[in-house]
Amino acid sequence: MIVIDGLHDQLEKSDVAIVLGNKVESDGQPSKRLQSRLDKAVELYNQKYYSNLIVSGGFGKEGYDEAKVMKEYLIINGIPSDSIITDSMGENTQMTAENSKLIMDSKNLETAMVITQYYHITRCKLILHKVGIKNVCSAHADIFELRDIYSLLREFFAYYQYVLIR
C-alpha cells in the first residue's frame, strides 16, 4: 500500500507545496535525495500546481540549516524568493506538519501538496491530516536508491505507530 500510494502522484492545484528536508552534504549542497525533492518542487511550480512553497527541515550534523539550503537551491532554479517560506524547526515529520499548519493558517492557505520520497508519502499525508490540513495531495521525488528497502520497512512500522498511538 505504501509503495503504490507513494508512486501514484496525486497532482492537484494547491495553495502550497510542503517540501520535506533531508541531508545536506558537508560542502553545503543538498544530498541527491534532497535535490530530487527540490527538482520535483521546481517542476511542479513551473507547471503552476502551486504558487507558494514551504521548505521544512532542521539543522543536520553537518551544521547546515536544511530549510535555508533548500530555499537557496530553489532560488537558483528560478523560484522567486517571496514564494518560498522557510521552516527551520522541521526536525521531523510531525514537527514539519505542525509548523506547516501554523504557517498555512497565518497565510489563509487551505490546500497542500506534500513532496518527499515515495515511501514517505503515506505517513506524511496521515500526519498532515491529523494536524488539521484536510486537503492534501502528493508528489514523489524521482530517485530510487538501494537504501529505499530499509526506508520502506521503517515507514511501514512508523505509519502504524502514528495510526495506533498518536
Query: What are the tens digits of pLDDT across the range 139-148?
Result: 999 987 777 6
pLDDT at 150: 63
Task: Using alpha carbons only, give the angle 102, 40, 97 rounded to the nearest 5 degrees.
Answer: 20
pTM for this predicted structure: 0.90
pLDDT at 158: 74
Q: In terms of Cα–Cα distance, which of 23, 42, 43 is closest to 33?
A: 23
pLDDT in tens, 70-109: 999 999 999 999 999 999 999 999 999 999 999 999 999 9
| 52 phi, psi to nearest 5 deg | -130, 150
Query: How many C-beta atoms surround the C-beta of residue 7 within 10 A?
Result: 12
The domains of the chain, with CATH numbers, are 2-164 (3.40.50.620)
Q: Is residue 111 a contact partner of residue 9, using CB atoms and an 8 Å limit?
A: no
Q: In terms of Cα–Cα distance, which of 15, 45, 3, 34 is closest to 141?
A: 34
